[in-house]
Amino acid sequence: MTVDAATRGQTCTVPPSAWVLAWASVVMQLVTLADRGTAGEQSALVSMPLAALLVAYVSAGVIRARMVRTWLAGIVLVLVVLASVIDLVTGPSLTELLGTGAAVVALGAFVSYLRSDCFARLRADRDASPAGLGGLVALAALVGALGGLTAPVEPGQEPGVHLRIQP
């Protein structure tokens, strides 16, 4: 898509797929939080703001069509979907089903956003900024904060997938 001088810097409206991606990410983090519980106070005080800033930064780059952050987010989403499907197959539970469903919806919304006219416009015009960016970044910060609040997998707990190949 080429951008002429008359339309350079004009905004586009973020498509609904970006909002679906954001809310599906919130659901994924809430499911993980419900499954693992919360981290300790001291850990959460450091990890919540750092995770919120990191996720907001990457998400703002994805929404503004910055390709390095978009590729990074895409790789993470694909890995999350694969891990969720494997977890679902190895030990199905309601939370794993909900998490896997949210991850698949998030990946589908991500791909839909990448194919949108708004994304193409933002790729062509680096000065353009989409309408709705602030709300999406706020949801991304919430996702990061929830991730920072979630307890890590402790040694001795079952962290998820265990593959063992024996003759």
Q: Express each pLDDT in 4-43 by its tens digit.
A: 544 555 578 999 999 999 999 999 999 989 888 888 888 7
Residue 167 CA to residue 165 CA, distance in Å, equals: 7
pLDDT at 154: 61
45-56 tens-digit pLDDT: 889 999 999 999
Residue 14 CA to residue 93 CA, distance in Å, equals: 34
pLDDT at 39: 84
pLDDT at 41: 83
Residue 103 CA to residue 97 CA, distance in Å, equals: 10
User: What is the average per-residue pLDDT within 139-156?
Assistant: 85
Contacts of 80 (CB under 8 A, 6+ apart): 28, 103, 106, 107
| Domain spans, the chain | 16-148
Confidence band of 161 (pLDDT split at 50, 70, 90): very low
